[in-house]
Chain A
Amino acid sequence: MGFEHFWLSGFDQIHVAFWRYLAVGLQNGAVYAMIAVGYTLVYGVLGLINFAHGEVFMCGGFAGVFLTRGILGDRVGSGWGSVGLVLAGIIVGGLVSALVATGVQQVAYKPLRKRHAPKLAFLISAIGASFFLQTLAGKEFGYGVNIFPGQVFEPGQVMFTIFGTPINTITVVSIIAALVMVVVADRIVRATRLGRGIRAVSQDAETSSLMGVNIDRTITITFILGGALAGAAGFLYSLQSGIVQNAGTEIGIYAFTAAVLGGIGNLRGAALGGLFIGLFGSFSVPFAFEGNVQWTEIYTFLILVLVLMIRPTGILGEKSGRTA
């Protein structure tokens, strides 16, 4: 996890710690928000959680990592070079993840859709796809070893200082990239012909197909859109924390929590939920039991359980299809 471990020892440090937690939280939140959008879009059109979405994220991360490593070698990026590398990583990560997401759709979802299989079958085949991808990545790139991208920025490069707290360039880049991509996704869904198709299928698949929406194509596009965002998120995540074959499970659950928190099917809700989960995770670090950072995971899972049990429609409400 990207959480920095930081103990509060006195009141004089609180404001320093506050800005640091805020920065880390926003950075993680940006990543979660981008993944959560994928969950929420697929839920909109299929009415299903895409259990393999975390692995889609992981694949994009690996693509970005190996691309930047290949380009940079031992060099350290700087200036416009860094900007270009980040863009290249986002684009390649997004493309690879979109490809993987389409593959998952074709193999694990489409044959079942054609047969009107019960919901349980979809969940099981998606879990199968998730384990397959995760283990395959482990086989190819090693199990349990964090692989870092080439040094796109100087190590620990600081962009500016706010109230005495240095803010890393990676943080700023992640937040800006996530903002741009989520806004673009939002515009695509709200204001284009493709988006209208997605919204129509979300509202009523049968009727929209009668109105001339190609359901198969719409579903594929939804997977591509969600996958591209997850892949870009994978690259941004790897800049801070590196990528490992099983990163998808945990981050996937965080992002799913975010999607449910914002009301599943609701794109803006998912993005806000992602930010909230990121901030929650970083601000719960001081409350970790005996200083063990694993407790922040427990807290986040508890949020998931509580939201699902108390308000499964999320804070902003489920909006499958209406303003999704």
Chain B
Amino acid sequence: MMIFSPANLKRLFFTLIVAAVIAIMTGAAGSSTAPPTTGVHGSFLERVSWFGLFAAPRWLLFATLGVIVWLIVSLYRPRAKTIRGGIDHVLAFPKEIAARKPTRVTLIAIALIVVILLPKFVHESFWMFLIVEQIGVWILLALGLNVVVGFAGLLDLGFAAFYAIGAYTTAWFTGALPMPALFHHPIPTLWVIPIGIVAAMAFGVLLGTPTLRLRGDYLAIVTLGFALIIDDFVETQSGVTGGGVGSSPIPHPSLNLGFWHFHWGISEPPYYYLCLLFVVVFIIVFTSLEHSRIGRAWVAIREDEVAAESVGINPLKYKVMAFAVGAASGGFGGVMSAGLVGIITPGLFTYQVSVNVLVLVIFGGMGSIWGVALGAIVIQTVTSYLDNYQPWGYQINDLFMYIGALLIIMMIFRPAGLLPSKRRRREFAMAEGGEEIHTDEVLSGEQP
């Protein structure tokens, strides 16, 4: 065991650099008026107390943590194989049980019961709002983007545009925009749901038809360009959209069947059930799509577009379809959000929102519906918690630093996500094993 071998000392060096970066990330913030080194100075020299036992400058703390992590890793490495083998051995039986069908059905049933009864357990309004606005709506967005990125393999950086279309359609049809509603006749919010979904899908087709001919990275930047255009348009055309100030209040949805009347007021549980209903519907639709002819076509295009074309799949048609299908749930997310929050502003649909949705998909596992839902729940809970309680000197603006870091870390260590879809994991493994190297990957390859 060579703990002080050059390779291992190099590892120590990198660990310490990472510790320093984390110290800066979690450290004091500078400002535009303070000298430029304020933040760095505060991050390293500030004294932190350790459960009141002793106070040490931060740099000492982070250096110590770095060395400890390094020690653990260097002790673990020589035994990695044994330990991993042991873990696999222990996990083999639970895994086998989990793979059985009755177990899965039971698990899904339990999850469904918990999900249905959730509002009974959660009384705090903050958590209920979080569950609907921060998790429910974002699961819808993530499920939609998962169709585009996960199933069809198209990187869309402007997904918030569909969300915006859904929300602004709602505002328009309910008469909450400066522009008068269609036929000067506002309609109830609930009836906008199908209109919002159709509008978003139509926009998906409109946007997809010209752009989806482009290859991966160009598509990413064109979708980003479109998103920025829409953002600028919404902000400048205050006569149509209300500009940066946003819309007037959108009425809460209500249902009137003549014999039965229901109004979604300001309390969250009714929205929760509305949202849950659509999440379940979208999960069922997307799951069956995934295993249908269309889903197989998406996989074929994602894995090898030329081969797919040669067996008679029209790539453009299926890609546009993926855009439209993904847009549907994004658009519904917009309607939902508009009905719940009431006032929509362009700030809700920025590039950052698109990247935030992308993180949910990547973290959970591209192409895996359950993974994406789990990713949305985990990340949105953590970020809402951080935003509201701001523990350990966290500031609201720091969020995208961690999101950016998380994207890099996921791509390095677990590109297929937390709960990967089997197929995706195989694709990553195959590409990395060199079985299926495309020309563009040779360019980025290492020396043989």
Which positions in A face B, CB cutoff 8 Å? Answer: 45-49, 51, 62, 66, 107-109, 111-125, 127-136, 138-143, 145, 147, 201, 205-206, 209-210, 214-216, 249-250, 253, 256, 260, 289-290, 292, 294-295, 297-298, 301-302, 304-305, 308-309, 312
Contact = CB atoms under 8 A, between A and B. Distances in A.
Given A131-B403, A253-B225, A298-B232, A139 B408 contact: no
Interface in B373-397: 395, 397
Given A253-B228, A304-B222, A305-B222, A122 B401 contact: no
Interface in B269-292: none
A132 B398 contact: no
The 8 A-B pairs at the shortest CB distance, nearest first, are namely A128-B407, A142-B32, A132-B404, A131-B404, A145-B32, A135-B401, A125-B411, A128-B408
B119 to A, nearest CB: 34
Contacts of A125: 407-408, 411-412
Contacts of B222: 304-305, 308-309
A147 B447 CA distance: 43
Contacts of B29: 139-140
A66 B29 CA distance: 17
A119 B441 contact: yes
Contacts of A128: 403-408, 411
A123 B401 contact: no
Given A120-B155, A298-B229, A139 B411 contact: no
Contact of A297 (B149, B232, B444, B448): B232
Interface residues of B, number: 70
A119 B216 contact: yes
A12 to B, nearest CB: 30
Contacts, number: 205
A127 B431 contact: no
Interface string B136-180: 000000000000010001010100000000000000000000000
A143 to B, nearest CB: 6
Contacts of A113: 444-446
A132 B405 contact: yes
A206 B362 contact: no
Contacts of B415: 117-118, 121
A111 B412 contact: yes
Given A118-B441, A128-B404, 7 more contacts: A45-B443, A116-B446, A127-B404, A128-B405, A131-B404, A140-B29, A260-B218
Nearest to B405: A132
Contacts of A295: 232, 236
Given A113-B444, A119-B441, A135-B397, A253 B25 contact: no
A301 B397 CA distance: 27
Contact of B39 (A123, A140, A201, A304): A140
Contacts of A292: 236
A108 B224 contact: no
A32 B370 CA distance: 44
A47 to B, nearest CB: 4
